[in-house]
């Protein structure tokens, strides 16, 4: 992938902002996806730690993990899919 400038798909920006990411034209898609992936890993580990402390049942844990996966659906995209193709 080039060094920019990058044009992120406008329809994806609300999903990125939901996770605290406001990429500029010079923010590489690899950095954006890596940040979101790391945030997801942090949240899933925190959820597991809470489950191990018996804060909720196994079924509640499964439901919370499922909800978290849905919130991070943008991770199904590869970095190059976050931006519009260059000409």
Has residue 3 got a pLDDT over 90?
no
pLDDT band at 7 (very low <50, low <70, confident <90, very high): very high
Helices (H), 1-87: 13-18, 29-52, 58-71
Confidence of residue 56 (pLDDT cuts 50, 70, 90): very high
3-state secondary structure of 21: coil
| % of the chain at pLDDT higher than 70 | 97
pLDDT of 2 over the 70 cut:
no
State the average pLDDT over residues 11-19: 95
Average pLDDT of every residue of the chain: 94
Cα 61 to Cα 49: distance, rounded to the nearest angstrom: 11
**Average pLDDT estimate for 66-82:** 96
What gap in Å lies between CA 12 and CA 20, rounded to an integer? 13
């Amino acid at each position: 992938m080039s060094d920019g400038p990058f044009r992120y798909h406008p329809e994806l920006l609300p999903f990125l902002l939901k996770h605290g990411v406001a990429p500029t034209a010079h923010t590489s898609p690899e950095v954006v996806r890596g940040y979101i992936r790391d945030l997801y890993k942090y949240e899933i580990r925190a959820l597991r730690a809470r489950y191990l402390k018996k804060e909720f049942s196994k079924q509640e844990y499964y439901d919370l993990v499922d909800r978290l996966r849905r919130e991070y659906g943008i991770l199904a995209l590869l970095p190059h899919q976050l931006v519009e193709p260059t000409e």
